[in-house]
Chain A
């Protein structure tokens, strides 16, 4: 039974990571109807930022989050202003391709600047564990999970309580109606993109304590976060959190049961099934976006 408990707990801890990455992605999609293929690359950038802050300034990654969020927020806004804003109202495939171009750009920029070496942050508590019954939980993983929860609560609070949060929700529900009510949609897009990138930055900072950092690390989490986002329903934040935890569990269990390499295929197949059966996600309502 111990094995199953350990699998479930590990799955949930990893799932929390998937969830927080997916939350940023789903926020951006919900507001702008853009699938950000470069999302994993922003995660990678945040991980490198955290690494350098840790190496040069000796700052703990969990403390560095306070620096990473605003930095990534600004990076997100600058990238949005330069590349996406000019084409935001043109054909869908252009914005999609722009994010693909950004993905290629950032991956190779990282490769150019920092080589393909895998770096990792070593902390005094890197190998510490917390005892839970007879299970040992990695402290960094638990810390990452705690950050996820805090971030999710913070985001929901922001979306429900602040004016900007409300306008973000309004635009994601109905762009034209929101505009008629005096919401500046372009500004809302910009802030939503910035916040989405800021959130993935927080995920990156926390993740850098657990995983190695290399130019293609974004891909590893990027694909999974797409699956999570669709599972939860594109644009649905609680859905993304639930989807993340589910995919984490499925990933952990299929990784244990199936030979190495196949577990990725498993969640991709789930992805396709969800797209086909319930394209609006497990929590989704039928809308004009997907399905017939």
Chain B
């Protein structure tokens, strides 16, 4: 059955498609017409979608709950920006350096921490993230401290990765996101992906079957770190200014996990879906309530998160998928019933 035929006969699929199209119309069209607010939201969705998808490699498929992924955003952002500001290095080269530093950091963090399991690993990543944030604040000689540092804006253009038009950042972020999703697809279907899932489900059983858990987890962590750092570079270039509280923030780490959980952990498009839902939500309630009462927008944000965790604990992606297959099964059983009756 072709997708279109399928669409017309299947109510659930139609609803989902309509929702997706409506969301695109609400955001993409205004963005293309130059609405800055919508453009900002789209760029953030693409960037957070990438970061969360990167988290998903180790956190979702591998089941290692990293609560310190902002470390890699921060390392990436600071590497590129500081190289550009202090030595005039192009952010493109900075991006490469950022990825390499993030991979090195992933090895240094992951090598010891992957001996830990469950809550112990989560706590260790929290601590690592906090240490990096504190170091970034307290080493002003290198990082300019809590004052932060502005992106080198002396020249605009592609070589300096500084643009007047926000959509240019959107294009960069989109390319990165598509690459990330492609890599996710490759991992999903490769030995690495199967090993990761095996480790998530039962590490001891996987190890007993000859899976080198430490090596596999480290490899996934390195891939994850590299993409998170590169996303961090584009994030920094888009924000034009970074400080430890923005790019090393523990809330940033938490956001990645929340988006993945909301969309569906360990699925290819779940993290992007989560970002596409949470970023606009965050931005809208910030815009509506942020100015009037201090703190109100985060109270609402937290309440929505609590409700999501309680009502759709498996994430929106898998839940919706289930609805669709339920509908399909119903429709199929209806068809077979009819044909049975016809035969009789």
Q: Chain A: residues with CB nearer than 8 A to chain B? A: 29, 33, 35, 83, 86-87, 90-94, 96-98, 100-102, 104-105, 107-112, 115-116, 215, 223, 226-227, 230, 234, 259, 261-262, 264-265, 268-269, 271-272, 275-276, 279, 289-292
Contacts and interface: CB of A to CB of B under 8 A. Distances in A.
A91 B117 CA distance: 14
Interface string B104-134: 0000000011011111101110111011001
Given A105-B302, A111-B295, A272-B128, A98 B309 contact: yes
Given A98-B306, A105-B303, 4 more contacts: A93-B65, A100-B258, A112-B293, A265-B134
Contacts of A276: 112-113, 115-116, 124
B123 A93 contact: no
Given A33-B119, A111-B294, A223-B130, A101 B306 contact: yes
B138 A97 contact: no
Contact of B131 (A29, A33, A83, A268): A268
Nearest to B60: A93
Given A83-B310, A105-B299, A105-B302, A115 B294 contact: yes
Contacts of B257: 93, 97
A71 to B, nearest CB: 21
Contact of A259 (B115, B138, B293, B301): B138
B217 to A, nearest CB: 13
B131 A269 contact: yes
A290 B120 contact: yes
Contacts of B331: none
Contacts of A94: 261, 309, 313
Q: Interface of chain B, helix or strand or loop or mixed?
A: helix
Contacts of A108: 295-299, 302
Contacts of A29: 119
A211 B295 CA distance: 23
A215 B295 CA distance: 10
Given A35-B123, A102-B306, A290-B116, A93 B131 contact: no
A116 B294 contact: yes
Interface string B130-154: 1100110110000000000000000
Contacts of A86: 310
Contacts, number: 132
Contact of A109 (B115, B118, B130, B299): B299
Given A35-B123, A93-B261, A96-B65, A272 B131 contact: yes
Contacts of A275: 113, 116, 120, 123-124, 127
A289 B131 contact: no
B193 to A, nearest CB: 19
A227 B116 CA distance: 16
B265 interface: yes
Interface centre among B119, B124, B305 (most CB of A within 10 A): B119
B119 A35 contact: yes
Given A97-B258, A265-B135, A272-B131, A230 B301 contact: no
Interface string B270-304: 00000000000000000000000111111101110
B254 interface: yes
A290 B123 CA distance: 12
19 contacts: A29-B119, A92-B65, A92-B119, A97-B257, A98-B306, A104-B302, A110-B295, A111-B295, A111-B298, A230-B120, A261-B137, A262-B138, A268-B127, A271-B127, A272-B127, A272-B128, A275-B123, A276-B112, A289-B119
Nearest to A112: B295
Contacts of A271: 123, 127
B138 A265 contact: yes
A109 B112 CA distance: 38
Contact of A112 (B112, B116, B131, B294): B294
Contacts of B119: 29, 33, 35, 92, 96, 234, 289
B113 A268 contact: no
Contacts of B115: 276, 279, 291-292
B306 A289 contact: no
A235 to B, nearest CB: 11
- Shortest beta-carbon contacts, A-B, top 5: A111-B295, A105-B302, A108-B295, A112-B295, A108-B298
